[in-house]
Amino acid sequence: MEKFLESSDIIDFSHPFVSAKARELTQGCNSETETVKRCFEFVRDEIRHTGDAGEGVTTCSASEVLEYKTGWCYAKSHLLAALLRVNGIPTALCYQRLSCSEYTQGVYCLHGLNAVYLKEYGWYRIDARGNKAGVDAQFNPPHEKLAFELGENEYDLSELYAEPLDVVVKALKTRKNYTEMVGNFPDIK
């Protein structure tokens, strides 16, 4: 469980901006569930999804996402993990392999989300990707309401990761903007 509480270069909750935002968001919280809900809703609602915006820099680390207030799903999951880990809540990174038909027909890619360990429920997945028409991710444990329902040839990766997959980090660090990322999303075969 300890590995899901650690800071790193990507989940950098030791960065002063990240730790300060975590304190701000959780001030007055009286429960683990309230802490998770506030952090989840902040990342989901206040950090733009780069793909929905159709522009912006590609961020990777939690501190970058917070600084630029934008991120692809993967980067947003890094920020949420940092905000929750600094508050002592074990948080993992999770992935789904989904169709990228919203951007490019016939292409599949990874989608990034989180799982948090709630004392009352165990591991519970949450998706702070950002809501829009047809996407309505919610935090309502024990009921899971992710951004996307799985379709044909789509699946969940079953593992919980303490750190992002290398293919995700490489994509976020080498594809610097919306145009470079679309059509070149990280994937596994």
Helix, strand, or coil here: 22? helix
pLDDT at 20: 98
- The count of structural domains within the chain is 1
31 within a domain of the structure (yes/no): yes
Pairing mode, strands 108-118 and 91-99 = antiparallel
pLDDT at 105: 74
Structure tokens at 159: 């593992």
187 within a domain of the structure (yes/no): no
Residue with the two structure tokens 């968001």: 25
51 within a domain of the structure (yes/no): yes
pLDDT at 35: 99
pLDDT at 64: 98
pLDDT at 101: 77
188 within a domain of the structure (yes/no): no
pTM above 0.95, yes or no: yes
69 within a domain of the structure (yes/no): yes
Low-confidence stretches of the chain (pLDDT beneath 70): none
16 burial class (0-12, 13-18, 19+ CB within 10 angstroms)? exposed
pLDDT at 107: 84
pLDDT at 113: 99
Q: Helix %, strand %, coil % for the chain, to 5?
A: 35, 25, 40
CATH number assigned to the domain comprising residue 169: 3.10.620.30
Which residues span the domain enclosing 150? Answer: 2-181
186 within a domain of the structure (yes/no): no
pLDDT at 33: 98
The DSSP symbol for 4 reads: G
